[in-house]
Amino acid sequence: MLVKEETFGPVLPLIEFEDIENCIEMINSTDYGLQAGIFTNTINVAKHFRNELDVGAVIVNGGPGFRVDSLPFGGVKKSGIGREGIKAAIAEMTEEKVFVL
């Protein structure tokens, strides 16, 4: 249940696996997708998770509590709408206009 619900608090489920594709399928099967933390010493594995996980951020060798105000922060699915952060806020409050002479 811990990997299927969005948990707020000092909780970090650690799941050992042998098959990367099964792990990715399990992570993507939840209705939530704020952040995922993966631990690896292989850059190609990290990039594979980055490309395949349906989450707002993939944190390599760290937990899913990473946040820096200058980077966009937000999730997918039921984990929020849009992104927070300086660049995201400016984009959200800006209305672009084309001007042709």
Averaged over successive runs of 10 residues, the pLDDT of the chain (101 residues) comes to: 69 80 91 89 95 94 79 84 79 85 83
pLDDT of residue 1: 59
Residue 39 belongs to domain with CATH number: 3.40.309.10
74 assigned to some structural domain: yes
Phi-psi region of 42 (alpha: psi -120 to 50; beta: other; left: phi over 0): beta
pLDDT of residue 3: 66
Nearest CA-CA partner of 30 in 51, 69, 56: 56
Phi-psi region of 74 (alpha: psi -120 to 50; beta: other; left: phi over 0): left
Specify the number of domains making up the chain. Answer: 1
Range of the structural domain that residue 74 is part of: 20-92
- Give the span between the Cα atoms of 70 and 84, in whole angstroms: 9
25 assigned to some structural domain: yes
pTM listed for this prediction:
0.73
pLDDT of residue 93: 84
pLDDT of residue 98: 85
pLDDT of residue 92: 79
